[in-house]
Structure 1
Amino acid sequence: MKAFDLQRMAFDKVPPEFLGEVALRSLYTFVLVFLFLKITGRRGVRQMSLFEVLIILTLGSAAGDVAFYDDVPMIPVFVVFVTLALLYRMVMWLMSKSERLEDLLEGKPVVIVEEGQLAWESVHRANMTEFEFFMELRLNSVEQLGQIRLAIMETNGQISIYFYENDEVKPGLCILPDGCIERYVTVPDTDEYACIRCSLVTRLQAGEKQLCPRCKNPAWTKVSRAKRIT
């Protein structure tokens, strides 16, 4: 085999005329996926549950094969589409009848911030890290966790946030990127500090070096008292 053979790299063993068939197959699979999205009635991927994403990935795998491989017939992919559409409708109906099945397939909302601090136990049970949603909070103009009364990770991955009034904002962990906050293992001043991992707020004395009693993390940062700008 000749290396860097442009003919082999571009077409391999298929004739150039097959490109027209690829275009037709791609249009066919696009229409199938589009119809499925219309059936689900969702406007975007962020609104999809885990079950719906799994259905789309399964359909996408079948659609990808029929789009590129000349030995994959098109009718079986249509059968896959019909089967998945019927499965989706049936499962949606079953979930409307069974809360347990709905929890199994869709998951449950997870409380991630409660009264200005990370709901550390809930986050751990959900096998998440704090960095997975700090960015989402920043996109909602959150500077520090003490601004938040309650934040919930919904089953579609979006975060619902309920804020304190400005006169009720608590001292909390600043969630700006690392370059914007100072971290200490030995704290320089007597003040309130927040654990950079679990957000526990405690008062430490100057020169004190202490592990967080909740998560055993050694690093702290001074609490932020920033109010929300509305």
Structure 2
Amino acid sequence: MQEPVEPFDWERIVLDQFPGTYLGEVAFRTVFMFVVILTALAVSGKREVRQLSIYELVLLIGLGSAAGDPMFYHDVPLASAVVVFVVVMSCYKLATYISDRNRRVRETLEGKAVYVIEDGCILTQNFDQEDLSLDELFSELRVEGIEQLGQVRVAIREHSGQLSLFQFEPGDVRKGLPILPKIFDQQSKDIGQPGEYACCNCGHVQQFNAPALEPLCPTCGQKIWVEAVL
């Protein structure tokens, strides 16, 4: 039969039944899990890392777990939680120190800024490497007041996952791929009437002087078009 818990038993609160050397194992476990969490977040991509840096997320996850257990479980000693806090903060400081001074490490863990739109066209080679769908890209652009890609001079996806947007001056805006859902959904493989049409995959705008059956986009090789708008 389990003995009842004696309130304010300081030996149990601080170390419980563990020997003092067990705190060294706690420190090792903490370093190991810090690396595991950091690797998992780095692999998961920018979609999971918004606003906070990858190091701040690891810090929050590690400290949150360390703080929660000793609050609820009487057999989790406070000394172990303190060791976890000290080691996590030390790992955080060391990781950010190395990252700030080593570009390769920084780009490996945090990623780097990637151009996804330039001169009104999606840079498909760069875009395909990002964990981002066209719907998500268009949604972020619409939030910034963009109605068609001809308004966009440059769009850069930052290492944080956020989109930095630079627009053409009003007089420089050209026809482009419409991203408002009702207009974008009017897409077709065939060109029925002469005019300017935008590729629904990359945004390339092409003039057609006559109807055409399933023409290929010269930029990306796709064949779904929608009438370009200004």
Residue aligning to 1:142 = 146
Q: Find 2:198's aligned residue among 194, 215, 223.
A: 194
Aligned-partner residue type, residue 210 of structure 1:
P
Match of 2:88 among 84, 94, 107: 84
The match for 1:103 is 107
Give me the identity figure in percent: 36
In terms of Rg, which structure is larger? 2
Cα 1:54–1:200 shift into 2, 3 Å: farther
Q: Measure how far apart 1:149 and its partner are.
A: 0.8
> Structure 1 unaligned runs (5+)?
1-44, 226-230
Counterpart residue number, 1:209: 214
Whole-Å separation in 2 of the counterparts to 1:84 and 1:59: 7
Per the alignment, residue 159 of structure 2 pairs with: 155
Across the two proteins, how many residue pairs are aligned to each other? Answer: 181
Matched letter for residue 160 of structure 1: S
Q: TM-score, normalised by structure 1?
A: 0.69
**Taking structure 1 as reference, are residues 58 and 93 closer, same or farther at Cα in structure 2, changes over 3 Å only?**
same
**Displaced runs of 4+ in structure 1, greater than 6 A?**
none
Asked whether the equivalents of residues 111 and 152 of structure 1 are also in contact (C-alpha less than 8 Å), the reply is yes
| Inter-CA distance 64–208: structure 2 relative to 1 (3 Å threshold) | farther
Give the secondary structure class of the aligned counterpart of 1:57.
Answer: helix
CA contact (8 A) 2:154 2:166 kept: yes
Out of 217, 221, 230, the position equivalent to 2:226 is 221
Deviates more, 1:111-120 or 1:73-82: 73-82
Contact 1:174/1:181 (8 A) holds in 2: no
Matched, 1:117 2:121: yes
Q: Which runs of 5+ in 2 are unaligned?
A: 1-48
CA separation of 1:113/1:89 partners in 2, compared to 1, >3 Å: closer, same or farther?
Answer: same
The answer to whether the Cα contact below 8 Å between 1:51 and 1:105 also exists between their aligned partners in 2 is no
Give CA-to-partner distance per residue, 1:144-198, whole Å, 9 cap, x none: 1111111111111111111111110111111112566411111221111111122
- Aligned residue for 1:182, secondary structure, equals coil
**1:215 match: secondary structure:** coil
SS at match of 2:142: helix
Quick check: 1:167 aligned with 2:162? no
1:50: Cα distance to partner?
A: 2.8
66-75 or 207-216, larger mean C-alpha shift = 66-75
TM-score by length of structure 2 reads 0.69
Q: Deviations over 1:3-26 (max 9, x none)?
A: xxxxxxxxxxxxxxxxxxxxxxxx
Kept in 2, the 8 Å contact 1:151–1:160? The answer is: yes
Deviation per CA, 1:33-72: give whole Å up to 9, x if none.
xxxxxxxxxxxx7432233323333444445555665654
**Structural RMSD (CA):** 2.4
Contact 2:114–2:156, Cα closer than 8 Å, also in 1: yes
Confirm or deny that 1:184 pairs with 2:188. yes
The change in CA–CA distance for 1:193 and 1:70 in structure 2 (over 3 A counts) is farther
CA distance in 1, matches of 2:161, 2:139: 13
3-state secondary structure, aligned to 1:203: strand
Instruction: Name the SS for the 1:112 alignment partner.
Output: strand
